[in-house]
Amino acid sequence: MPAKFDPKSKETLLSRDRLDPHRLISLIPILPHHVVADVGCGPGYFTIPLAKYLFDGKVYALDVQQEMLDATQQALDAVHLTNVEVMRSKEKKLPLEKDSLDGALVSFVLQEASDPRALLKDIGRCLHKSAWLVILEWYKREMEEGPPLDQRIDEAEMRSMTEKLGFRYSGKRDLNGKQYVMLLRK
C-alpha cells in the first residue's frame, strides 16, 4: 500500500517554493461561482487561494487525515474565509452528492491512493457533465525529491486511466520540470 504523506511534515507542503497556486488557478477553467473539491487538501495550500478566487462559489476541502483537515481549518480561520467546508473523506469515496461539483483539484494524491482508479471513479460521480478535473502529479523519473519512483504515475498511464473512466483529455502542462498538471473534462 502506498505511503501517505506524514502530517508531521505538513509545513513542507506550505512552502511557497513548491509552486505558485495562483499560477495553477490561471491554468484551469475555473469561474468565481463554481463549486470545487480540493481532494487531498493537506494543510490547505491550494484551498485558501481557491476559496479567495471562488468568492461567489464554494470549496470542499477533503482529506483522509484529520491532522491535515485541522491545519486547513486553522488556516481558514486565520483569514476568515467562510466559503469552505472542511470534510473528512474516505480513501475511495468522497462525502459529496452525485453531480454536485463544477470542478475538482487532485494534487499529489493519486500516487498515495491504494486504488487511484476507484478514487477517480468516485470523483467522476461527483462531477456534473462537462465539469473539469485537474490532476497534479510528479513525473515518473528519478529525482532527489518527491515520492518513491514506484509510487509515481506516468503521464501516459494517467491519461489512459482517466480516459478509460470516461474523462476527456484537454491538455497537460509542465509545472516546474518535476511535476505535471493534467486537465480533463467529464
The structural domains of the chain, ordered by start, are 34-185 (3.40.50.150)
Query: Beta-carbon neighbour count of residue 76 at 10 Å?
Result: 21
For residue 27, give the H/E element and its range. Answer: helix 21-27
User: Tell me: the pLDDT tens digits for 124-157?
Assistant: 999 999 999 999 999 999 999 889 999 999 999 9
Q: What is the pLDDT of residue 64?
A: 96
Gap between the Cα atoms of 91 and 52, Å rounded: 27
DSSP state of 184: E
| Amino acid, res. 131 | A
Q: Is residue 44 left, alpha or beta, with left meaning phi > 0 and alpha meaning psi from -120 to 50?
A: left
Does pLDDT of 89 surpass 70?
yes
Q: Where are the beta strands (DSSP E) in 29-126?
A: 35-39, 58-63, 84-88, 101-107
Q: What is the pLDDT of residue 184?
A: 98
Q: Order of strands across the sheet with 58-63?
A: 84-88, 58-63, 35-39, 101-107, 127-138, 179-185, 168-174
Q: What is the pLDDT of residue 20?
A: 87
Gap between the Cα atoms of 63 and 141, Å rounded: 26
| Amino acid, res. 66 | Q
3-state secondary structure at position 157: helix
Q: What is the pLDDT of residue 105?
A: 98
DSSP state of 65: -
**What are the CA-CA distances from residue 146 to residues 43, 77, 103, 120, 166 (Å)?**
17, 29, 26, 22, 29
| Amino acid, res. 21 | P
Burial class (CB in 10 A: 0-12, 13-18, 19+), 166: exposed
Check: CB of residue 46 under 8 Å from CB of residue 28. Answer: no
Cell numbers linked to 123: 470523483
Whether this model's pTM surpasses 0.95: no
| Mean pLDDT (whole number) for 84-110 | 97
